[in-house]
Amino acid sequence: MPRIALYPGSFDPVTNGHLDVVRHAVVLCDRLIVAVGLNSTKQPLFSTDERLDMVKAVFAPVAAKAGCAFDCTTYDNLTVAAAQKHGATIMIRGLRDGTDLDFEMQIAGMNETMAPDVHTVFVPASPAVRPITATLVRQIAGMGGDVSPFVPPLVAAGLKTKFGG
């Protein structure tokens, strides 16, 4: 039975922190599905199609190099329901610090109650990417700052285009 993992997030934009999580996740599963969450109450900087394109361009080569099948999708319901829909038994969650751990432990507990067959796996961020958040990246880019240390080159170029840089 193949090990299918779902890595959910908004990916607005894809950061080096997300890339770090994917590098670790592809060795834990046979197939990785990156799920871009759609939230009607939020206005993302990048469109759904732009985020999916970033996800494919940045993560697919990492998965291929590791011999892991890769796919991406969107979802607008419970994350655990998206995992079940795609046959995932592993939910990948990245952790930067203790605050993330406290929050993610609560979600993992609720998810386990709703879907006992989906197991949350926490991936600790590498030290170099721990401070990176998509929110901070958007703020820095919006103020004309250099985000190249925090995002893949393709994403940095997309942010420059978005902010007229």
Inter-residue long-range contacts of 49-53, CB under 8 Å, 24+ positions, other chains counted: 50/158, 51/10, 51/11, 51/12, 51/13, 51/14
Cβ atoms within 10 A of the Cβ of 124, count? 15
Q: How far apart are CA 154 and CA 157, in angstroms?
A: 5
Does 18 count as an annotated binding residue?
A: yes
Q: Extract the runs of DSSP E, i.e. beta strands, from 13-151.
A: 31-37, 69-75, 90-95, 119-124
Does 120 count as an annotated binding residue?
A: no
Does 132 count as an annotated binding residue?
A: yes
Does 10 count as an annotated binding residue?
A: yes
Does 33 count as an annotated binding residue?
A: no
Does 25 count as an annotated binding residue?
A: no
Does 11 count as an annotated binding residue?
A: yes
Does 134 count as an annotated binding residue?
A: yes
Does 99 count as an annotated binding residue?
A: no
Does 3 count as an annotated binding residue?
A: no
Does 122 count as an annotated binding residue?
A: no
Does 51 count as an annotated binding residue?
A: no
Cβ atoms within 10 A of the Cβ of 100, count? 16
Does 130 count as an annotated binding residue?
A: yes
| Secondary structure of residue 20 in the 3-state scheme | helix
Binding-site residue set for substrate: 10, 42, 79, 93
Residue ranges of the annotated binding site are: 10-11, 18, 42, 79, 93-96, 104, 129-135
| Binding region for ATP | 10-11, 18, 94-96, 104, 129-135
